[in-house]
Amino acid sequence: MSIDIRITPSILNADFSNLQSEIAKIATVSDLLHLDVMDNVFVPNFTFDFESASKVIKESSLPVDAHLMVADVDQIAPAYAQAGCASVTIHAEATKDISATLRAIRKIGARSGLALKPATQIEDYLDFIDDVDMFLIMTVEPGFGGQKFMTDMMSKVSRTRAIIGSRPIWLQVDGGVSVETIEIAADAGADTFVAGSAVFNAQDPAAMVTALRELASKS
Ligand code: DX5
Ligand code: ZN
C-alpha cells in the first residue's frame, strides 16, 4: 500500500526571536508547520499564548498544524481553527468533551487531531474515530524538544494503523524523530512526522526535511 508522507517541522527548537526566517528555511520542502502550544499547566513548559500563536499562524507561509498541550482545551481549540490553522490537535487527556471539541474544529474548516501521551491507550478512544482526521501518537513525554524517541510506542502506532483501516485519517508521530528513527515509525505505519531538533539543529534544515521524507518513503 502506498501512502502519502507528510513532514511537519516543529519550530519548538527554532529561534523564536526570528521565526519568519526560521520558517523560510523549510517552507518550500515541508507540508505543514507544527506549532507546539504549551501552557505550563498541562506540560511543564510554556511557549505561546493565543495572541502570539495567532501572529505566527497569520504570518506563516506554510499551513499550520497546531499541537495544543494546554489544560481545559475545549474552549480554546476552536479559536485556533478560527485563527487559520489547517489542523488543530487536542490531547485526549486534557479535553472534557472530546467529540464536541473535535467536531467544533472541523466545523470551522480545520482538520481535527487527537493526541495521546505515551501512557494513554488508543483502544480507550475508539468511540471518537469518526470525529478524527489525524491521530498523534507521542513518541516522547510532551513538553520539550530534543528527547529520545520511544521505540516502545511502535506497537501503539501499528495498532492505530490497523484501527484506521481504510479511513482517510493521518497518523502522526511526534518526539525524537530523526534520520535514525523515522524509518522505524514509518514501518510501524506512521505517515505524518514531526521533527524539531533534527531539522532546526541541522546545518541545512531543508536538506534534512528532504532526507527525512526520503527515508520515510522507503518503508
Ligand atoms: C514535544 C513537542 C514536539 C517537539 C519535538 O512536546 O510536541 O513537537 O517539538 O521535538 P523533537 O523533534 O526535538 O523531539
Ligand atoms: Zn508537538
Residue 13 — pLDDT band, cuts 50, 70, 90? confident
Phi/psi of residue 71, each to 5°?
A: -75, 155
Q: Is 124 a catalytic residue?
A: no
Summary mean pLDDT of the chain: 97
End-to-end CA distance of the chain: 10
Rounded distance from Cα 129 to ligand 1 centre (Å): 24
Residue 1 — pLDDT band, cuts 50, 70, 90? very low
Distance CA 86, CA 110 (A): 5
pLDDT tens figures, 81-95 = 999 999 999 999 999
To the question of pTM greater than 0.75 for the whole model, the response is yes
Q: What mean pLDDT do residues 116-123 have? A: 98
146 Cβ inside 6 Å of ligand 1: yes
Q: What mean pLDDT do residues 44-59 have? A: 97
Find the DSSP H helices in the chain.
Answer: 19-26, 50-59, 76-82, 98-108, 154-164, 182-188, 197-200, 205-218
**Domains defined for the chain, CATH in brackets:** 6-217 (3.20.20.70)
Rounded distance from Cα 165 to ligand 1 centre (Å): 27
Rounded distance from Cα 175 to ligand 1 centre (Å): 5
- Confidence check: pLDDT of 181 > 60: yes
9 Cβ inside 6 Å of ligand 1: no
pLDDT at 111: 99
Determine which of 16-20, 106-110, 143-147, 203-207 has the lowest per-residue pLDDT on average.
16-20
Q: What mean pLDDT do residues 196-201 have? A: 98
Instruction: Work out the percent of the chain whose per-residue pLDDT is above 70.
Output: 99
Catalytic residue, candidates 31, 39, 133, 174 = 174
